[in-house]
A and B are shown apart, each in its own frame.
Chain A
Amino acid sequence: MNPIVEVKNLSKSYKEVDAVRNLSFSVNSGDVYGFLGQNGAGKSTTIRMLMTLIAPTEGTINIFGKTLHNHRNEILSRIGAVIEKPDVYKYLSAYDNLKLFAKISGVKPTRQMLMQQLEMVGLDQRWNSKVSTFSQGMKQRLGIAIALVHNPALIILDEPTNGLDPQGIADIRNLILNLSKLHGKTIIVSSHLLSEIELIANRMIIIHKGEKIVEGDVQELLDPSKNIVQIETTNNEAAKQIIALSNFTEEVKQSHQHLHMQMNKNRVPDLIKYLSDKNVAIISVQSKHSLEDYFLNLTKSN
């Protein structure tokens, strides 16, 4: 698969707070990539770094095979995004907002093209209404129309269903699936709801306190036979290296005092013995039933 987005060792610090720590992930062409984490996990900060709204403290971002830092405008001309709330000019109509942002995106908009875009998000009947009269759902749909007006290859939607009613959530979900399946767009969607990501994404990442917990195919990650194992040892650095060289799991993540990995629960005793043989003492082992349980526990604990 051809990675469209490659993020390596991305970090962002604010004085004493590390919002994002050493984050790496990649998004392939055609993916609907779920960006999952509870509120304050660092999703929005990461997405803002992808959109050059925030400068990373460390790390690199490559999009479409080019470094974002050096090819900002070229890359952004191929991305459409809705970051958090879809704020637009309230004193202008939906049509005028769309026309204005189409021009800024480098498109010469025609009336037909703009009306088609508004029709796609169900706002064609209110094209001439001022945005100040719109509901949150209508603003969200207009935000998506603005994100799509220049026919971008990559679409980034930050919590697109926030503040929407059930029908609105379903509409946005269908729109994302249509964009992926019918138009072949690559889409990054952030959410704090695993159930939402599960319904639309084929790949996903979970981040917690600015760090990656797990990344992979949604179906594999949500496979109930695989557990998330959390280990605390006397020497986590050494344990991480030892496990990485073994065949217990594909990836080991370290956060604070723990190592996290996805593996078959039946192999946990073997892992403990293996580490003991390598002179790494185990302080605690916790096995979560599934990724969903694990994510729910993360959410509950905060």
Chain B
Amino acid sequence: MWSLLQIELYKISRRPRTYIAFAAIMAIVLIFQFAFKADGQSYMNLMLQNVQDNFEIDRSKAINGYFMCYIILNTLLVQVPILVALIAGDAISGEANMGTLRLLLTKPVSRTKIILVKFIASFIFTIVLLIWMAIFALLVSMFVFGIDDMLIFRVKGDESQIMQITKDDVLWRYIAAFAYAAVALTVIAAMAILMSVFAENSIGPIVATVCIVIFFTIVSNLNVPIIDKNVKPYLFTSYLVGWKGFFYINANADGQPIKGSIENWPAIRNSLCILIGHIIIMLGIAVAAFNKKDILS
């Protein structure tokens, strides 16, 4: 298994398309950082328009490395599934398209093992992609913008809120958020691999995965009571942004944030369980379908 995984990672590392994802993330993050360095204050003023007047903020320190990372993650974690689908969607169908699947399956390796290895390789790719993102979005932002208390803008019901997290209480939340994002993106990888089993070229599974993510995300964001109750709980996209929960903190009776607290840990835990459930189900279907598939390519 380890030897197969090494081979799979080697193959991924030798494909030029792998590096598109890394280049795209780097470019987007650097553009964000440049824009906020040049005129971040305008954005901050816009965000603070709707906030109550009695909240005192030192606006010069509000745009810092932690805040920047939060803004970047908010934007990028919607796009990154596409990058994950680009690799995972190619896992089986790319081999079928090249004709190498035929050769691979004449070797003494079970089909289940091949799917699992490709899934683990896609998972590792996702982790490396997130580490890459953490380096640019968090570490580079900390270096460029400095470190200070972090402001979180949040819309809860009809009202806008601002929460302030002290700078010594932020880093662990990012580690937890990136770990959560890894699980969420692994759902995308499992889905792309499942699609990949049924296709003979890479484009189909990649496009299908992206379309499903977009469609489900739109449904997840609809504010219709019947959908809220009957549809959203079953869509994995409803839980993709659950990482934000690590930045929603409890306040004491005086309205002061409680250091180290998480507002709704059970909801995060529940979301993680649902995401992991999706991974297991999709991977299970992929293994069963691949084992029954006639290789005609």
Which A residues lie at the B interface, using CB under 8 A? 48, 51-55, 72-74, 76-77, 79, 81, 83-92, 100-101, 103-106, 143, 146
Contacts and interface: CB of A to CB of B under 8 A. Distances in A.
Interface string B161-193: 000000000000000000000000000000000
A55 B294 contact: yes
B287 to A, nearest CB: 16
A102 to B, nearest CB: 10
A73 B106 contact: no
Interface stretch (B7-15, B67-75, B269-277): B7-15
A74 B3 CA distance: 18
Interface majority SS on A: helix, strand, loop or mixed? loop
25 contacts: A48-B294, A51-B105, A51-B106, A53-B106, A53-B294, A53-B295, A54-B295, A73-B109, A73-B110, A74-B108, A76-B107, A76-B108, A79-B106, A83-B102, A87-B98, A89-B14, A91-B15, A92-B11, A100-B10, A100-B11, A104-B3, A104-B4, A104-B7, A104-B107, A105-B107
Given A104-B7, A104-B109, A106-B108, A54 B98 contact: no
Contacts of B106: 51-53, 76, 79, 81, 83
B79 interface: no
Given A51-B105, A76-B108, A86-B103, 15 more contacts: A53-B295, A54-B294, A54-B296, A73-B108, A73-B110, A83-B103, A89-B11, A89-B98, A100-B11, A101-B107, A103-B3, A104-B4, A104-B7, A104-B104, A105-B108
Interface string B90-110: 000000001110111111111
B234 to A, nearest CB: 34
A84 B102 contact: yes
A195 B216 CA distance: 60
Interface in B204-232: none
Interface residues of B, number: 24
A92 B14 contact: yes
B59 interface: no
Contacts of B99: 84-85, 87
Given A54-B296, A92-B14, A146 B3 contact: no
Given A76-B108, A104-B107, A53 B102 contact: yes
A21 to B, nearest CB: 17
Interface in B1-32: 3-4, 7, 10-11, 14-16
B156 interface: no
A36 B176 CA distance: 63
Nearest to B14: A91
A51 B105 CA distance: 8
B108 A101 contact: no
A87 B105 CA distance: 13
Contacts of A52: 105-106
A89 B292 contact: no
Contacts of A104: 3-4, 7, 104, 107, 109
A48 B295 contact: yes
Contacts of B16: 91
A103 B11 CA distance: 13
Interface centre among B14, B102, B103 (most CB of A within 10 A): B103
B14 A53 contact: no
Contacts of A76: 106-108
Contacts of B103: 83, 86-88, 101, 143, 146
A153 B3 CA distance: 24
Contacts of A51: 105-106
Contacts of B104: 104
A176 to B, nearest CB: 18
Contacts of A92: 11, 14
A124 to B, nearest CB: 21
Pick the 6 closest A-B CB pairs, nearest first.
A87-B99, A77-B108, A53-B295, A73-B108, A76-B108, A54-B294
B41 to A, nearest CB: 47
Contacts of B11: 89, 92, 100
Contacts of B296: 48, 54
A77 B106 CA distance: 9
B259 to A, nearest CB: 51
Interface string B256-297: 000000000000000000000000000000000000101110
A55 B295 CA distance: 9
A86 B103 CA distance: 8
A160 to B, nearest CB: 14
B107 A55 contact: no
A140 to B, nearest CB: 13
Contacts of A85: 99
